[in-house]
Chains A and B, each alone.
Chain A
Amino acid sequence: MAADDGTLLAAAYGGCALAVLLFASWWERPVLVLLYLLYLSLFHAGQIFTNFQWDYLLLETGFLAIILPGGSRIVVWLFRWLLFRLRFLSGISKLLSGDPTCSGLTAATTTSRPSLCPTSVPGTPTSRADHRTLFWVFFVFVPFQYYLVATQWYGLFAVFIPVYAFLFVPVRSVLAGDTSNFLARTAKIQWGLMVAVYCISHAPALLMLQIPGYAGENTKLLLCLLVVVQLSDVLQYTFGKTLGRRRIAPQVSPNKTWEGTIGCIAAATLVGVLLWWVTPFGPLSAAGIALLINLAGFAGGLCMSAIKRDRGVKDFGTLIEGHGGIMDRIDSLCFAAPVFFHLVRYFYA
């Protein structure tokens, strides 16, 4: 075939169209063969630019997939072999990369260190006894809290973590038999549960509110909350530092000034007012609610900054360059979500 631009583009966009056909289960086997041949051709055409691990992986997976429809267990075992080689060789390449955290088998600890997890924060009182408590936290309390949201069981949703989980955590730790630094260890797990599980679960819980005349539109409430709080957060991140001189909490966030913060909260509140028509609120109530959740969000940001100061880390993670990890993005939401939830529940549901 010709090797001009039109042919290359036809091959690439033809591959897109065939992928859609495969998704819709039309002519599976012939489509899989064509997809494999097209990708193999483009893989060679791209030379070193398509010479990555994912290209090989897709080629081999695509080849095996040709014999998958109605196939035998042999093809299943070939896929398992492929998966094994992928994981095994990825491990080998990490070990050979020369990174001391990889060759010393400490990469997982290093990565999870700036998190709220008490066993991984340096300088934190920890104990092996906490591992069993944390098992309950991660594998029982978190799924159960969201089960309560899904089944709209408000009564237990409101008290399960602050009462029962909070009582369970010290009991499980003390049964494990270690009483050193008991209060600090217990409080740390409880604090993590409160912020990262209980408070945040109020955001999806908005979907279970039954607001007269607003049935089926609760997702818009969730969207409004996210837009207003995240906007306020981003504005404070970008403009909060350049405006004004009087600092709010020089010990915690040296860059936050009264002028910048008030300006950003006012702007985010204004956006909340402009969104009143998608909510069950009137414009004036929307202003009040937006202001309150912005203030709560600001308080959340300050408290989480204090935790980071206390633990000696700048960010909780490295999800987005310059913005830290997921906890840095949602710290204000942790405080704003319960406030928003209860305001809406009290006045509108």
Chain B
Amino acid sequence: MRTRGLWKIDLLMAGAPDYSLVAWFFLRLLAAVYLAAFWSLAVQITALAGTQGIYPLAEQMRIAAEDHGFWRFLTYPSIF
């Protein structure tokens, strides 16, 4: 069953034969957890890994590239 839209009351009413109702609910709760996680990083990350931070990200990247070259993406997967 496809789930779209925020309030799937019809799913509750119909009774879910599979896991779609729980899966839908799980993803909404996961979204709340993600929000809390990213929010707490947003207020801390510049102090941790910013240019003036404790361990600047640019430095981490340089060391990772020196150690692993192109394959740094395997040991240090990151979009940065």
Q: How far is the CB of A333 from chain B (nearest CB, A)?
A: 29
Assess the B50–A23 pair: CB atoms within 8 A: no
- Given A41-B79, A47-B48, A69-B23, A3 and B61 contact (CB-CB distance below 8 Å): yes
Stretch at the interface among A7-15, A129-137, A239-247, A287-295: A7-15
Main SS of the interface on chain A? helix
B12: chain A residues within 8 A (beta carbon): none
Picked from A11, A19, A25, A70, the residue with its CB within 8 Å of the CB of B5 is: A25
Q: Does A44 contact B (CB under 8 A)?
A: yes
Assess the A7–B49 pair: CB atoms within 8 A: no
Assess the B57–A45 pair: CB atoms within 8 A: yes
Main SS of the interface on chain B? helix
B35: chain A residues within 8 A (beta carbon): 16, 19-20, 23
Picked from A1, A2, A9, A25, the residue with its CB within 8 Å of the CB of B45 is: A9
* B42 to A, closest residue via Cβ: A12
Chain B interface residue count: which class?
35 or more
Q: Fill in one digit per residue for B10-29: 1 if any A CB lies within 8 Å of its CB, else 0.
A: 00000000011001101110
Assess the B45–A47 pair: CB atoms within 8 A: no
Assess the B80–A62 pair: CB atoms within 8 A: no
B39: chain A residues within 8 A (beta carbon): 12, 16
Q: How far is the CB of B67 from chain A (nearest CB, A)?
A: 14
A4: chain B residues within 8 A (beta carbon): 50-51, 58
Assess the A47–B55 pair: CB atoms within 8 A: yes
Q: Fill in one digit per residue for B31-73: 1 if any A CB lies within 8 Å of its CB, else 0.
A: 1111101110110111011111011111011000000000000
- Given A7-B80, A24-B6, A38 and B33 contact (CB-CB distance below 8 Å): no
17 A-B residue pairs with Cβ-Cβ distance under 8 Å, sorted by A, are A1-B79, A3-B60, A3-B61, A4-B50, A8-B50, A9-B42, A20-B31, A20-B35, A22-B27, A23-B32, A45-B49, A47-B60, A49-B48, A50-B48, A54-B37, A69-B27, A70-B20
Q: Does A319 contact B (CB under 8 A)?
A: no
Picked from B32, B37, B56, the residue with its CB within 8 Å of the CB of A3 is: B56
Q: Does A65 contact B (CB under 8 A)?
A: yes
Q: Does A71 contact B (CB under 8 A)?
A: yes
Rounded to whole angstroms, the CA-CA distance of A14 and B39 in the bound complex is: 10
Assess the A28–B76 pair: CB atoms within 8 A: no
- Given A1-B79, A1-B80, A62-B34, A46 and B27 contact (CB-CB distance below 8 Å): no
Picked from B19, B38, B51, B76, the residue with its CB within 8 Å of the CB of A19 is: B38
Interfacial residues of chain A within 21-35, with CB under 8 A of chain B in the complex: 22-25, 28, 32, 35
Assess the B34–A18 pair: CB atoms within 8 A: yes
Rounded to whole angstroms, the CA-CA distance of A1 and B80 in the bound complex is: 5
Q: Does A37 contact B (CB under 8 A)?
A: yes
Q: How far is the CB of A95 from chain B (nearest CB, A)?
A: 28
Q: Does A40 contact B (CB under 8 A)?
A: yes
Rounded to whole angstroms, the CA-CA distance of A211 and B20 in the bound complex is: 44
Assess the B51–A44 pair: CB atoms within 8 A: no
Picked from A1, A46, A58, the residue with its CB within 8 Å of the CB of B34 is: A58
Picked from B38, B76, B77, the residue with its CB within 8 Å of the CB of A13 is: B38
Q: How far is the CB of B73 from chain A (nearest CB, A)?
A: 11
- Given A23-B31, A25-B4, A47 and B49 contact (CB-CB distance below 8 Å): yes
A82: chain B residues within 8 A (beta carbon): none
Q: How far is the CB of B8 from chain A (nearest CB, A)?
A: 8
Q: Does A115 contact B (CB under 8 A)?
A: no
Q: Does A310 contact B (CB under 8 A)?
A: no
Q: How far is the CB of B35 from chain A (nearest CB, A)?
A: 4
Q: How far is the CB of A155 from chain B (nearest CB, A)?
A: 33
Q: How far is the CB of B70 from chain A (nearest CB, A)?
A: 16
Rounded to whole angstroms, the CA-CA distance of A81 and B61 in the bound complex is: 34
- Given A3-B61, A19-B32, A45 and B45 contact (CB-CB distance below 8 Å): yes
* A10 to B, closest residue via Cβ: B42
Q: Does A86 contact B (CB under 8 A)?
A: no
- Given A45-B49, A46-B41, A15 and B61 contact (CB-CB distance below 8 Å): no
